[in-house]
C-alpha cells in the first residue's frame, strides 16, 4: 500500500509534468492526498484527467462570480479549484454560487473541502443530483454510491451553510442540568488552596 507521502509527492510531480506550475502542482498533491484519505478515487481520476487533457482544451476561470459558464468547452477542475480556494473569502459573500460543465468534478471536491476549513463553514456541493457535504476539511459526507465517478458535471450548485447547533435549547439545558451533578461544592480548604501561594513564602 502506498503511503500518503508517496501519493502526494507523485501526484505533484505528475501534475508538473502535465504542464502546470510547481505552485499549482503542490496544491494538487495535497488535494489528491485528501481524496485518498477520505476514500475517494483521486489517483484514478487524476490519471484519467491527464489523458483527457491532451485531447481537450479545458477552460480556466480567473474571476469567479455567482453564476459561471464556460465559453466553449468545460472548466478545468484544477485551475477552477485553485482559483476557488484563492477567492473563497469573496465567493462566500454570495451565500451560494453555480457552475456549468466542470470536467472531472471529483478533482474539484478537495478544493471545496479545504475552502470549508478556511471559512469555518460547511459547504454543500451538488452536481447532477449527486450531493456532498464538506465538513471543515475533516470529513466528506455523500449520497453518491457509484464506483465510477462521472468525468463531467453539467449543473453544479454550491451553498455555504450557516453554523448552527444540531440540538435544541431544551436538549442543551437538560444535558447541562445533568452535568451540574458533577460540580464540586466550594469549601474553605478549596478557597485557601486557590488563593495563590498560601502561607508559605519561598522567596
Given a cut of 80, whether residue 185 has pLDDT beyond it is no
pLDDT digits (tens, 9 = 90+) for 145-159: 776 889 999 999 999
Averaged pLDDT, 104-129 = 96
Given a cut of 80, whether residue 20 has pLDDT beyond it is yes
In a domain, 47, yes or no: yes
In a domain, 169, yes or no: no
Q: In the 8-state DSSP scheme, what is residue 180? A: G
What pLDDT is recorded for position 193?
Answer: 61
Task: Give every CB contact of residue 26 below 8 A, 6+ residues apart in sequence.
Answer: 12
In a domain, 186, yes or no: no
Averaged pLDDT, 171-191 = 81
Residue 122 to residue 26: CA distance in whole angstroms: 24
In a domain, 176, yes or no: no
Pairing type for strands 96-103 and 152-161 reads antiparallel
In a domain, 55, yes or no: yes
What pLDDT is recorded for position 183?
Answer: 86
**Residue range(s) defining the domain that contains residue 55:** 4-161
Domain count across the chain: 1
Residue 172 to residue 161: CA distance in whole angstroms: 22
Percent pLDDT > 70 in the chain is 90
Amino acid at each position: 500500500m502506498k503511503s500518503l507521502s508517496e501519493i502526494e509527492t507523485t501526484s505533484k510531480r505528475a501534475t508538473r509534468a502535465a504542464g502546470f506550475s510547481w505552485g499549482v502542482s503542490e496544491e494538487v498533491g495535497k488535494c489528491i492526498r485528501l481524496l485518498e484519505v477520505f476514500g475517494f478515487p483521486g489517483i484514478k481520476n487524476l490519471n484519467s484527467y491527464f489523458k483527457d487533457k491532451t485531447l481537450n482544451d479545458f477552460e480556466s476561470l480567473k474571476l469567479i462570480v455567482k453564476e459561471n459558464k464556460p465559453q466553449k468547452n468545460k472548466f478545468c477542475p484544477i485551475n477552477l479549484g485553485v482559483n476557488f480556494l484563492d477567492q473563497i473569502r469573496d465567493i462566500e459573500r454570495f451565500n451560494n454560487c453555480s457552475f456549468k460543465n466542470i470536467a472531472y468534478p471529483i478533482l474539484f471536491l478537495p478544493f471545496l473541502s479545504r475552502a470549508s476549513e478556511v471559512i469555518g463553514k460547511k459547504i454543500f456541493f451538488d452536481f447532477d443530483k449527486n450531493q456532498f457535504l464538506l465538513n471543515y476539511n475533516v470529513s466528506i459526507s455523500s449520497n453518491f454510491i457509484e464506483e465510477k465517478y462521472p468525468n463531467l458535471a453539467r449543473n453544479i450548485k454550491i451553498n455555504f451553510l450557516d453554523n448552527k447547533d444540531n440540538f435544541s435549547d431544551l436538549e442543551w439545558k437538560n444535558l447541562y442540568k445533568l452535568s451540574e451533578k458533577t460540580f464540586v461544592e466550594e469549601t474553605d480548604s478549596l478557597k485557601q488552596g486557590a488563593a495563590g501561594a498560601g502561607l508559605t513564602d519561598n522567596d
